[in-house]
Structure 1
Amino acid sequence: MKPFGVRKIELSGRFPIPKEVREEISIKSDDPVEFFTDDGCIGIMKYKERCCICEANNDVKPFKNNFICQNCKDEIIIMANRKKEAC
């Protein structure tokens, strides 16, 4: 990781994200972002929907109140068809 300067945290707990960081990770105003911590560091990344089964973030489609990738969807269909055949 490379440093982008120092920012102060406001009383409300907010802090500005430097323009260089926003540009590097392609975030704009109102884009959802995720925060994570690792060994005392805070990370920010642009939010991407993930499969609720395997956590993949490619080829993900809404499914009820979650998201599911095509691979997991295909596996579920195969397993359901096997179960029907066994009955």
Structure 2
Amino acid sequence: RAGVPAVPVPVTADQPFWAARLAAVGAGTGPVPFRALAEEEGAPDLLAEAVARAVREPAHRAAATGIARRMAAEDGAGEVLKAVENGG
């Protein structure tokens, strides 16, 4: 929503799905496994490289900015309200 590239670090539940979606639409790097950050000796370098890729590659910023614009134009709450009022 902020329009900046992301470095997803999925931990549990649906986070791996959304991390993969971020990467698929180009608004972030590929997911950095939490386990790799928690257990590997080179974890700081792994995370630093992912952050560097996120800010260095203009395509990530362009995708994130475009998605933020589309989200700002949506009335998500209004659509939910309509669905609830119409019974689903």
State the TM-score bracket (shorter-chain normalisation): under 0.3
Which is richer in helix? 2
TM-score by length of 2: 0.24
Based on CA coordinates, which of the two structures has the bigger radius of gyration? 1
TM-score by length of 1: 0.25
Which is richer in strand? 1
